[in-house]
A and B are shown apart, each in its own frame.
Chain A
Amino acid sequence: MQSRTVVAAVIFTALALVPSVATALNQSFYIDVGIRILIFAIAALSLDLILGYGGMVSFGHAAFLGIGAYAVGILAYFGVHNGLAQFVAAIVVSTLAALFIGAVSVRTTGVYFIMTTLAFGQMLYFLAVSMSKFGGDDGMNISSTSDFGGWLDLHNPIVLYYTCFCFLLGFAVFSDRLVGSRFGMVLRAIHMNEQRAVAIGVGSFRYKLTAFVISGAMCGVSGALLANQALFVSPAIMHWTRSGEILIMVILGGIGTLFGPIIGAVVYLLLESTLSRITEHWEIILGPFLIIVVLFAHRGMLGWIAERRRAPTK
Chain B
Amino acid sequence: MNINIFFLLEQLLNGVQFGVMLFLISAGLTLVFGIMNLINLAHGVLYMLGAYICASVIQASGSFLVGVAAAIVGSLAAGIVIELVTFRPLYRRTHLDQVLVTFGLTLFFNELVRIIWGPTALYAAVPAALSGQIDILPGAPYPTYRLVIIGTGILAAVFLYALVSYTRIGMLIRAGASNRVMVEALGVNIKLLYTFIFGLGAALAALAGALAGPILAIESGMGNGMLILALVVIVIGGIGSIRGAFIASILVGTVDTLGRTMLRPLFATFLSQATADQAGPAIASMLIYLLMAFILFFRPQGLFPPRIR
Residues of B within 8 A of A71 (CB): none
The CA-CA distance from A96 to B64 in the complex, in Å, is 52
A132 located at the interface, meaning its Cβ lies under 8 Å from any Cβ of chain B in the complex:
yes
Can you give 7 contacting A-B residue pairs, CB < 8 Å?
A104-B293, A123-B289, A241-B103, A284-B108, A286-B107, A287-B106, A298-B93
A171 located at the interface, meaning its Cβ lies under 8 Å from any Cβ of chain B in the complex:
no
The CA-CA distance from A212 to B290 in the complex, in Å, is 20
Contacts A57-B99, A123-B289, A294-B100: A112 and B296 contacting too (C-beta < 8 A)? Answer: yes
Q: Is the CB of B104 within 8 A of A294?
A: yes
Residues of B within 8 A of A244 (CB): 99-100, 103
Q: Is the CB of B99 within 8 A of A122?
A: no
Q: Contact residues of B with A, CB < 8 Å?
A: 33, 39, 86, 89-90, 93, 95-97, 99-101, 103-112, 114-115, 224, 228, 231-232, 235, 239, 278, 281-282, 285-286, 289-290, 292-293, 296-297, 300-301
Q: Is the CB of A126 within 8 A of B286?
A: yes
Please report whether the interface of chain A is mostly helix, strand, loop or mixed according to DSSP.
Answer: helix
Q: Which of A228-273 contact B (CB under 8 A)?
A: 240-241, 244, 247-248, 251, 255
Q: Is the CB of B101 within 8 A of A290?
A: yes
Contact of B105 among A51, A104, A115, A291 (CB under 8 A): A291
Contact of B286 among A110, A116, A123, A286 (CB under 8 A): A123
Question: Other CB < 8 Å A-B pairs besides A119-B292, A131-B282, A248-B100, 10 of them?
Answer: A114-B39, A118-B228, A119-B232, A120-B289, A240-B224, A282-B111, A283-B107, A284-B107, A287-B104, A294-B97
Residues of B within 8 A of A295 (CB): 86, 89-90, 97, 101
Query: Per-position contact with B for A117-140: 1 when CB-CB < 8 Å, else 0?
Result: 011101100110111110000000
Q: Is the CB of A111 within 8 A of B39?
A: yes
Q: How many A-B residue pairs have CB under 8 A?
A: 120
Interface size counted on chain A using CB atoms at 8 A = 44
Residues of A within 8 A of B93 (CB): 298
Contact of A241 among B100, B224, B286 (CB under 8 A): B224
Q: Is the CB of A283 within 8 A of B110?
A: yes
A108 located at the interface, meaning its Cβ lies under 8 Å from any Cβ of chain B in the complex:
yes
Q: Is the CB of B95 within 8 A of A129?
A: no
The CA-CA distance from A59 to B235 in the complex, in Å, is 15
A288 located at the interface, meaning its Cβ lies under 8 Å from any Cβ of chain B in the complex:
yes
